Amino acid sequence: MNLSETEQRILIYTPRIRDAELTEQILRKGGLGTVICADMIDVGLKLREGAGAILIAGESLDDLGVSNLISALASQEAWSEMPLLIFAPSGDQAARTYERINARAHLTLLDRPIHVKSLLSVVHSALRSRIRQYEIRELMKRLEERVDERDRFLAILGHELRNPLGAILLASQMVDPEERKLDGAHAAVIERQSRHLTRLVNDLLDLSRVASGKIILKQQVIDLVAVVRQSMQVIRDTAMSHKLEMNLNAPAEPVLIQADPVRIDQILGNLLTNSIKYTPEGGHVTVSIETNSDRAAIIRVKDDGVGVSPDRIGRIFELFNQAENAIGRSQGGMGIGLALVRNLVSLHGGTVSASSDGVGKGSEFVVALPLAKEQTVSSPVQARKSGATSAPRKIVIVEDNADVRDLLRLKLRKLGHEVHAAADGLEGVKAVIEIRPDLALVDIGLPGIDGYEVAARVRQQVGHDVFLVAVSGFGLPEDKRRAQEAGFDEHLTKPADVNDIENVLARFQRRPVL
């Protein structure tokens, strides 16, 4: 670490100036920086300014000298224990004095006469321990900054949660008193804000996993154009509800990159969501794809929205950064999406940049990803459907939360499925064995026996005749692996909505039951 001369200097005080000068000569020849102090008051003053160690003659420690020294030592910060070297006269009186000083300093008593080699050795050693204290000081500073950051994050998170929760609470109270039903508009508010909260939680968890190196990319050769087209399709409804026009300019031929398609979709989703959020009604969001001479695929997401001021553009990808304007604040946002984009792009070996001509002049985000060396697509991009409907199925739901269970049952029945429900693991096993559904949705966190045990018992009794789907609040790779080992065919992370379940049903192949 870089330390200043002041932080490394050795303060010297002896009553006789000649002794101090001789000592200084020896230490300087040994490569040490030194300062001769005029008296003990001067030692105290210079100690407060900063020093690496103090070397004094014991005879300077009269009552006033000791008092000044202890007072100066007492003013040190918590990380500091100043190395203090004293040429020590002996005697009981001195021993008591050293005890007083020792409580506030890293004290070493030196005999006289002392060899030059020994003196240099002990002073260098004292300085090394001082440098270690400086390192601790830096660690403590970083720790305090992290704590401040955490506190700031929690405050922002609290704020970001309160408005959507407030909207959900108020909308849920708008039940028509006569019909005892919630109208479509208020139901839509609850759905919209719930999805917003879900996105927030998912982004937070992903960011945490990226930061701790837990995200593993499942890379394959994919057609970037197909993935981008799909991402835009999913978000098109959102753009339309904001009365925005969204367009894609892409080459006719595939643009092949080596990437994790789920994460590329996440990158696009976040960039598009960001543009939609910060573009007023009637605006435009344009995505274009091209390749350049550096063998990179370039994705540009451009909007004619609120833009970014020059002093903020450099920090746009930092956590917590969001546009300080009515649109950004009113729609909420912690600046997690763009921080996540930067991390995910970086994991893919790419770069992302942002530019804007200023406030009110729109912005453009440019992602550059290396082109694939291979020129064959590994596997076709799985169509991600939003709300795909499937043939009617016989379904068992095993879920202990009554609200979740009842709402899911109601919704799946409205879609034409035959739905049975169980509230705990034992009931769930019994229901699946007796009813033999096409598919069972099993919550992992059940009272009695958990979801893994349910799957194991079902497999023992009915083999693989039933398609088992684990529903869990944990979505890490190890959670999915554990579900698979227990006998589940698929894993959904909560909150699993009807669209997620419909997508599972669409992938599920069985003879029609109804």
Partner 1 sequence: MSSATVLLVEDHAELRSLIVATLGRRHVVCEGVATPQEAVLKLRQDDRYSYVLLDVQGALEGDPVIRYLTDDVDGGMSRLVLIGDDDPREEQNDAYSGPFLRKPFDMNELCARLAIRLQS
Residues lying near partner 1 in the complex (CB under 8 A) are found at 155, 158-159, 162-163, 165-171, 173-174, 186, 189, 192-193, 326, 329-332
Give the closest residue to 46 by CA, choosing from 84, 23, 38.
38
Task: Output the smallest distance, CB 249 to partner 1, in A.
Answer: 32
Compare residues 173 and 379 and give the one whose CB is closer to partner 1.
173
User: Distances from the Cα of 487 to the Cαs of 436, 463, 476, in angstroms?
Assistant: 16, 9, 17
Task: Output the smallest distance, CB 262 to partner 1, in A.
Answer: 30
Task: Output the smallest distance, CB 158 to partner 1, in A.
Answer: 6
Task: Output the smallest distance, CB 204 to partner 1, in A.
Answer: 18
Compare residues 281 and 403 and give the one whose CB is closer to partner 1.
281
Task: Output the smallest distance, CB 486 to partner 1, in A.
Answer: 37
Compare residues 326 and 514 and give the one whose CB is closer to partner 1.
326
Give the integer Cα–Cα distance in Å for 123 and 446. Answer: 66
Task: Output the smallest distance, CB 193 to partner 1, in A.
Answer: 7
Other Cβ atoms within 10 Å of 305 Cβ, number: 26
H or E element at residue 469: strand 467-472
The residue type of 334 is M
3-state helix, strand, coil in the chain (%, to 5): 50, 20, 35
Q: Is residue 334 within 8 Å of 160, Cβ to Cβ?
A: yes
Our measurement of the distance from residue 143's CA atom to the centroid of its chain's CA atoms, rounded to an integer in Å, reads: 16
Give the integer Cα–Cα distance in Å for 450 and 468. Answer: 14
Compare residues 195 and 510 and give the one whose CB is closer to partner 1.
195
Compare residues 239 and 341 and give the one whose CB is closer to partner 1.
239
Compare residues 173 and 375 and give the one whose CB is closer to partner 1.
173
Q: Is residue 351 within 8 Å of 218, Cβ to Cβ?
A: no
Q: What is the four-CA torsion angle of 61, 67, 68, 69, rounded to 10 degrees?
A: 60
What are the start-end ranges of the H helices in 392-476? 402-414, 425-435, 451-462
Compare residues 108 and 325 and give the one whose CB is closer to partner 1.
325
Q: Is residue 302 within 8 Å of 364, Cβ to Cβ?
A: yes
Compare residues 138 and 324 and give the one whose CB is closer to partner 1.
324
Task: Output the smallest distance, CB 192 to partner 1, in A.
Answer: 8
Task: Output the smallest distance, CB 189 to partner 1, in A.
Answer: 6
